């Protein structure tokens, strides 16, 4: 058996000394031909391994370079150095894999995030990305824990689909047809009956519609999987491949939906604070350091942990879209023509508007409800008794400071006649969506759900500012490395 090692996190947490352990990991630094800082990814805190003079020959000592992997058997002893209580005095040391110091891209110094993005295959070995991805892992686990505790059924919705859930038309096509010479119909259009599935298919943009089918039987389900959008948005908030959590609840209205989303977000943050404080403290310090390089006026008022505590301890603000527009119209920013995009009832709020609301006006997460029907998806429930010309739907978006939209959801239109009418108006073919409409034909119930963008949540919790830095391998326009 090879794996007799103890994890460095565990070793550092116990103050026991005098016993023998095996540790394995990658060398971060080697100083004075004597002190190895060893890391195995379980924590950012390196284990100090002491190599006493005479234990290794010259040739082996030369192989102890940054990035090399080693196996050490030694005695745990109290550490005299600052920063750690225990260290390991090596009895035997074996180099598992060499790392050419001249060629290894990660030198023991601070690298820019841009540089590390290009070295994404190695960046997990840095403190920043170690913390980010341990937090991502923890948050993913907390997602399942939250819904499991509530009795939701985890439903895996398909990744390849023939429906366009959002009606957005920004999908990646899935095909096995030769793209340079596909079979064609008489009118010249591509003949998809000859394609793999016998029809045109794409990668899913959302699992919601299939999720609704599950909710109509299990009452409460959630999905957690990858989704794909071919929108050409090269921003710090958009990925072409991102992970989304989509709960769907029968017997729930828009208010139940808001309550669940708020509870869910606070639960995830609390979980991270209970289980990953060490990583949060590291990222907090990192962010504070970064803030120092900004002009005073642009620095954020809160530190990372302070911000997270605030969000957990305070209710989210709840306003209607109409109120949001009024706040924007009354704002100094609007009056001084600071917004690039115009503000009027009916607009699809731009990120500058959303950020004004959360960062300048309310300074906390905000849930906006009652959006104009014209800018929202077909399945959202039409609100009754709307003002003439201002038809709204029971939609809700949650906007978070520093991020903008983090959740999008709605109560669904459960009334068959109203849904069919809306689909017709939006030119959505009823026959193709017959399976979806069946839920409204056979035992329809009021129901609601939402989608939380997982990477945006990880951004919020880690305080990172670019979404490319919170997913292991980012897919963005013109970029699909690794």
Question: Contact positions toward ligand 4AD, by CB under 6 A?
Answer: 165-166, 206, 208, 229, 238-239, 242, 244, 246, 405-409, 449-451, 453, 455-456
Nearer to Mg ion, 276 or 369 (CB): 369
Strands 153-154 and 86-97: unpaired
28 binds, among ligand 4AD, Mg ion, none (CB under 5 to 8 A by kind): none
Side-chain-side CA neighbours of 62 within 13 Å: the count stands at 4
166 binds, among ligand 4AD, Mg ion, none (CB under 5 to 8 A by kind): ligand 4AD
**In angstroms, what is the minimal distance from the CB of 429 to ligand 4AD?**
19
404 binds Mg ion (CB under 5 A): no
The radius of gyration of the chain's CA atoms, rounded to the nearest angstrom, is: 27
453 binds, among Mg ion, ligand 4AD, none (CB under 5 to 8 A by kind): ligand 4AD
CA distance 149 to 170: 35
**In angstroms, what is the minimal distance from the CB of 448 to ligand 4AD?**
8
CA distance 337 to 353: 12
DSSP letter string over 142-175?
HHHHHHHHTT-EE----SEES--TTS-----EE-
409 binds Mg ion (CB under 5 A): no
**In angstroms, what is the minimal distance from the CB of 473 to Mg ion?**
24
DSSP 6: -
CB 347 within 8 A of CB 371: no
**In angstroms, what is the minimal distance from the CB of 201 to ligand 4AD?**
18
DSSP 316: P
**In angstroms, what is the minimal distance from the CB of 418 to Mg ion?**
22
How long is the chain?
482
CA distance 408 to 399: 9
Instruction: With H, G, I as helix, E, B as strand and everything else as coil, classify residue 258.
Output: helix
**In angstroms, what is the minimal distance from the CB of 339 to Mg ion?**
20
∠ CA 473-116-122 to the nearest 5 degrees?
65
47 binds, among ligand 4AD, Mg ion, none (CB under 5 to 8 A by kind): none
413 binds, among ligand 4AD, Mg ion, none (CB under 5 to 8 A by kind): none
**In angstroms, what is the minimal distance from the CB of 397 to Mg ion?**
6
Piece of 36-44, 131-139, 307-315, 401-409 that binds Mg ion (CB under 5 A)? 401-409
Piece of 10-18, 94-102, 166-174, 404-412 that binds Mg ion (CB under 5 A)? 404-412
DSSP letter string over 440-463?
HHSS---EEEEEEEHHHHHHHHHT
CA distance 148 to 462: 24
74 binds, among Mg ion, ligand 4AD, none (CB under 5 to 8 A by kind): none
What does the block give as tokens for 26? 């990658």
Nearer to ligand 4AD, 182 or 225 (CB): 225
CA distance 429 to 448: 23
206 binds, among ligand 4AD, Mg ion, none (CB under 5 to 8 A by kind): ligand 4AD
CB 181 within 8 A of CB 125: no
Nearer to ligand 4AD, 114 or 348 (CB): 348
192 binds, among ligand 4AD, Mg ion, none (CB under 5 to 8 A by kind): none
Piece of 34-42, 259-267, 388-396, 407-415 that binds Mg ion (CB under 5 A)? 407-415
**In angstroms, what is the minimal distance from the CB of 166 to ligand 4AD?**
6
Nearer to ligand 4AD, 164 or 323 (CB): 164
∠ CA 131-474-145 to the nearest 5 degrees?
55
Q: Which residues of 24-54 are buried (b: 16+ CB within 10 A; e: fewer)?
A: bbbbbebeeeeebbbbbebbbbbbbbbbeee
Q: Among residues 25, 74, 247, 408, which is the contact residue for Mg ion, using CB under 5 A?
A: 408
**In angstroms, what is the minimal distance from the CB of 384 to ligand 4AD?**
21
CA distance 295 to 314: 29
Contact positions vs Mg ion (CB under 5 A): 408
């Amino acid at each position: 058996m090879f794996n007799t090692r103890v994890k460095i996190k565990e070793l550092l947490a116990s103050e026991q000394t005098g016993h023998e352990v095996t540790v394995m990991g990658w060398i971060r630094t080697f100083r004075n031909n004597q002190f190895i800082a060893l890391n195995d990814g379980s924590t950012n805190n390196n284990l100090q391994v002491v190599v006493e003079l005479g234990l290794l020959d010259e040739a082996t000592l030369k192989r102890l370079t940054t990035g090399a992997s080693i196996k050490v058997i030694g005695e745990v002893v109290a550490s005299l150095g600052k920063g750690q209580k225990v260290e390991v005095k090596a009895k035997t040391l074996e180099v598992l894999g060499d790392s050419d110091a001249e060629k290894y891209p990660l030198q023991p110094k601070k690298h820019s995030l841009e540089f590390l993005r290009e070295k994404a295959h190695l960046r997990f070995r840095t403190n920043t990305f170690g913390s980010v991805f341990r937090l991502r892992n923890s948050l993913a686990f907390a997602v399942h824990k939250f819904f499991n505790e509530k009795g939701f059924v985890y439903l895996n919705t398909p990744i390849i689909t023939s429906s366009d859930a959002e009606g957005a038309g920004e999908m990646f096509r899935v095909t096995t047809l030769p793209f340079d010479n596909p079979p064609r119909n008489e009118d010249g259009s591509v003949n998809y009956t000859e394609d793999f599935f016998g029809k045109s298919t794409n990668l899913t943009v959302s699992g919601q519609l299939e999720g609704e089918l599950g909710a109509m039987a299990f009452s409460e389900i959630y999905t957690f999987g990858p989704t794909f959008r071919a929108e050409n948005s090269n921003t710090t908030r958009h990925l072409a491949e991102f992970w989304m959590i989509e709960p769907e609840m029968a017997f729930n209205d828009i208010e139940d939906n808001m309550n669940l989303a708020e509870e869910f977000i606070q639960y995830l943050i609390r979980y991270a604070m209970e289980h990953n404080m060490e990583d949060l403290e590291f990222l907090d310090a990192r962010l504070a350091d970064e803030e120092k390089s900004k002009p005073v006026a642009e620095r954020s008022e809160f530190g990372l942990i302070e911000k997270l505590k605030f969000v957990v301890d305070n209710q989210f603000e709840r306003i209607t879209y109409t109120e949001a527009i009024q706040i924007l119209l009354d704002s100094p920013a609007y009056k001084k023509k600071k917004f690039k995009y115009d503000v009027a009832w009916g607009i699809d709020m731009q990120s500058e508007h959303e950020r004004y609301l959360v960062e300048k006006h309310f300074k906390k997460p905000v849930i906006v409800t009652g959006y104009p029907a014209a800018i929202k998806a077909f399945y959202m429930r039409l609100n009754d008794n709307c003002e003439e010309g201002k038809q709204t739907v029971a939609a809700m978006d949650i906007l978070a400071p520093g991020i903008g939209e983090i959740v999008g959801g709605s109560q669904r239109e459960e009334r068959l006649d109203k849904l069919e009418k809306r689909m017709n108006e939006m030119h959505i073919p009823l026959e193709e969506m017959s399976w979806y409409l069946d839920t409204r034909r056979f035992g329809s119930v009021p129901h609601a759900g939402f989608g939380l963008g997982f990477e945006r949540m990880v951004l919020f919790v880690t305080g990172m500012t670019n979404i490319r830095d919170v997913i292991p391998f980012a897919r963005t326009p013109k970029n699909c490395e690794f």
